[in-house]
Amino acid sequence: MLRTLLAASTLAGFTLLPQAATAAGDSLSTHYTDFTSWTLFGSATASNMTPGNGFTYSDLMLTAPGGNGQVGAGFAPTALALDFNAPFFFDFNFFIAGNELRGDGMTFTLSTTAAAGGTGSSLGYEGLDHSVALAIDTFHFDGEPVSPSLQILRNGDTTPVAVTETGLGDAIRNVPFQSYASLSYSPSGNGDATGTLVGFLQVYTADGDPSQFQTFSVQASVDFSDLAGSPLFYGFTASTGAATDGHFVTSAMPVPEPGSALLLGAGLAYVVSRRLTRRP
């Protein structure tokens, strides 16, 4: 319940003050992240705005709505020395915008290298060796998991280590309320850099109704001994092939004061409507 309430409040831009990432992870959902300070690749762009409605927004656009054959990535400028014998946690808010062919998808990635992979089904992740990713795959190929699916990927390979089919269809692009996702790690306790990764996804399924949502999870046992001792960059990748979806990660904070609960819905409505009208 706490996670649900926290995610619901951040969807409208009601966040805590900026804070630094730590060796235990980073919550991009519960504090303000300035994406203009991140390292960007390919089609990715970042912008900040304070429109006068009581909030400041930072917007990471990985692919632009309406354009196919795109690949974009954005990574935090400082790598983290994660301890794989201790728990860590990352979370974020995102939305996918489009009304044509759905695809291809996006990832949250931990990687020794900050870069962008290939377009289309590569999700901007394929080829990022020495990495792990939580993927939201939104394009379906015969013989593959039915999209949209939640996946755990490893070492730049888009064949999932673990997968959960959501059955959401085009509802994955239902953007009046942003979706929430997290990636958490629990070590085995054996001091061997192995443990369990759990990906979590919450998607709102009714226009304008925050009480209607579905949640999904995927988990895998992972051996991180090959990454132990290596600083890891954290960030996002996305790509399109024949599809034309836009992939966005957003952050917001109230300025100069938190404001009242009456501003919550207005904050999100502004950033979503503004982004949906920015089409090539």
| Residue 110 pLDDT > 60 | yes
Residues 132 and 108 sit within 8 Å (Cβ to Cβ): no
- pTM strictly above 0.75: yes
pLDDT tens-digit profile of 39-85?
A: 999 999 999 999 988 889 999 999 999 999 999 999 999 999 999 99
Q: Is the peptide bond before 256 cis (omega within 30 degrees of 0)?
A: yes
Taking the C-alpha atoms of residue 33 and residue 21, their distance in angstroms, rounded to an integer, is 10
10 residue type, one letter? T
pLDDT tens-digit profile of 176-199?
A: 779 999 999 999 999 999 999 999
Q: How many domains does the chain have?
A: 1
pLDDT tens-digit profile of 243-252?
A: 999 999 999 9
**Of all residues in the chain, what percent carry a pLDDT higher than 70?**
84
CATH of the domain at 25: 2.60.120.200
pLDDT band at 19 (very low <50, low <70, confident <90, very high): low
Taking the C-alpha atoms of residue 38 and residue 69, their distance in angstroms, rounded to an integer, is 23
The values of phi and psi at residue 96, to 5°, are -120, 125
Q: Which domain holds residue 269?
A: 2-276
**Of all residues in the chain, what percent carry a pLDDT higher than 90?**
71
